[in-house]
Amino acid sequence: MSDTKFRFTELSLEKIESNGKRTRYYDNLLSGLILDVGVAGRKSFRVYKKIPGRDTPINVTLGYFPSIALDDARRMAKKVMADIAEGINPNDLKRQFRAASITLKEAFESYIESRDLKPITVRGYQQKIDCYLPDWHNKRLADINQTMILKRQREITSRSPAQADYTMRLMRALFNFAKAEYKSSEGRSLFPENPVGALSEKRSWNNVKRKTRRLRRSQLKPFVDALYEVRNEAAKYRQNSRIAFCDYLEFLTFSGLRRSELLQLPWSQVHLEDRIFILEDTKNGLDVEFPITDRLAEIFSRRKEYKVSDYVFGTNSKKGYLTDPKKTLKHVCQIAGVRITSHDLRRTFTSMAESSGVSGYLLKRLLNHITDKSDVTAGYLILTAEELKEPADKVTETIAKYAGLIEQKPNDQMSEMKSLLASLTKEQKVELMSTLLS
C-alpha cells in the first residue's frame, strides 16, 4: 500500500505489512490518529497532535493492533485529544502515575544500576536498606514524607548515631536521584521536594565526630612486639593464614594504606626489582604507584615464601585472599594491651608522617587522598613512586624507631627530648623545673 493517508478499516489495517522501515499511516476519518508500523511489522495506535501553544506535536501511544480494535482505538484517541485541547500532556499523566507508584526498593535498584559503584559500596548501601529500612522496601517513594524521615532517623539514632546519618544520606541520595530521573515533558521534576531536607531544617543530623584513635608513640613498641610474637607462634604451628594476617597488619602499619585496597593486591602489580607496587581502581578511581620501602620489602619477601595464590596476602580459600583480620588484630591487641582497628593504623601512619615533617601534598599522595579541585597548585604536582620514596622512608623509619626496631642514636634521643619539651605547656614546664630543682 503506497498511500499512507486513508480511512482506517479493520481489513485495511490487517493488510499492511512492513516495508523494512518504520512507517506512519494516518486516519482520514479521525485526524490525529495514526498507525505506526515498525521494522518488524509491529503495529501501534498512537495520537499525533500538537498541544496548544507548542510548536512540536506529541506522540501518545494507545496500544497495539489487533489487540486493540479500531473502534476502541478511535474512542481512546478522542479522549486523549480532549486532554490535549485543554493543554494537558497525557504522557505527563503516565509519567506521574509511574513515578507515584515507584517503591523505595525499585528506586534503590535503579539508583545502583545507574551508578558506577564499587562492590563494597553497594554492599554498604544494601546493608542500610535491609537493616534499617526493611518495612519501607515496598512503600511508594512518593508516600515517604518529612515526618516519617524524622521519626525513623530518631529510631536509628537510638541504636547508632553514625548509622542513622549514613542511612539518611543514602535516602537523600535516592530522592535526589528520583528528582533528576523522573521529569515531565517540560523538564519539571516529578519529585521536587526532598523530605530528608527536614533533618537540616530541624538540625537533627547527629554530625558524628570523626574518630581520632591511633597508636600513641609509647604504644607502638608493645603493638609491634605483640605482632611479632603472634606471627612467630603461628609459624611454629604452621598457621599460614595467621602469618599472612600478621604480615598484612604490619604492612598497614608501615604504609598507611586502606584495608580494602591492600587485601586484594595481586603479585602481578608488585615490581620488586623496580621497588614499586601498584594499586588499581582505588577508592578515588585511580591506579596509583607506591614505593617499596625497606620495611615493605621485608614483608614482600616473606610473603613470597608463603605464596599460595595470585595475591600477596593469599590463602587457599575460594577467593584466594584474606578477608577479615579482626580476630588476629584482637589477639595482638590483647597481648599489647591496646585497643585499635585496622583503620586506626592508617591514622597512626598519618600522625607519624606529620611528626616526621612530611609536607601536606606528599602525605596526601602517600595516603592516596583526593586533592581538592579548588587547589590549583596540587593539579600541577605529579608525584611518582620514586619521588615518594624519600618521604616514605622517613615515615617508616620514624615508626620503626618508636617500635624499637631501630636503636636510637644519642642525637636522635636529644632531638626527641627537645621535641617533647617544646610540646609542654607553660604550666607543665614550670612544674618540671620545680621537680628537677627539688
pLDDT tens digits, one per residue of 112-163: 999 988 888 999 999 999 999 999 999 989 899 999 999 999 999 999 999 9
255 domain residue, yes or no:
yes
Higher pLDDT, 367 or 136: 136
Rounded to the nearest integer, the mean pLDDT of the chain is: 87
Q: What residue type is assigned to position 91 of the chain? A: N
Pick the last residue of a domain from 53, 88, 123: 88
d(CA 120, CA 405): 35
262 conformational bin, left if phi > 0, alpha if psi -120 to 50, beta if neither: alpha
Are 237 and 190 members of one domain? no
Domain range enclosing 106: 101-201
d(CA 62, CA 140): 26
- Which residues pair with residue 58 across a beta bridge? 49
Are 193 and 310 members of one domain? no
Q: Indicate the range of 30-34, 63-67, 346-350, 411-415 predicted with least confidence.
A: 411-415
At residue 265, the pLDDT reads 94
Query: Cβ distance 256 to 399 under 8 Å?
Result: no
Could you report the per-residue pLDDT of 2-57, keeping only the tens digit for each?
588 999 999 999 999 888 888 999 998 998 898 999 888 899 999 888 888 787 88
Number of domains in the chain: 3
Band of pLDDT at residue 425, cut at 50, 70 and 90: confident
| Mean pLDDT calculated for residue range 178-204 | 84
Report the length, in residues, of the chain: 438
End-to-end CA distance of the chain: 116
Are 195 and 221 members of one domain? no
418 domain residue, yes or no:
no
Q: What is the CATH number of the domain that holds 274?
A: 1.10.443.10
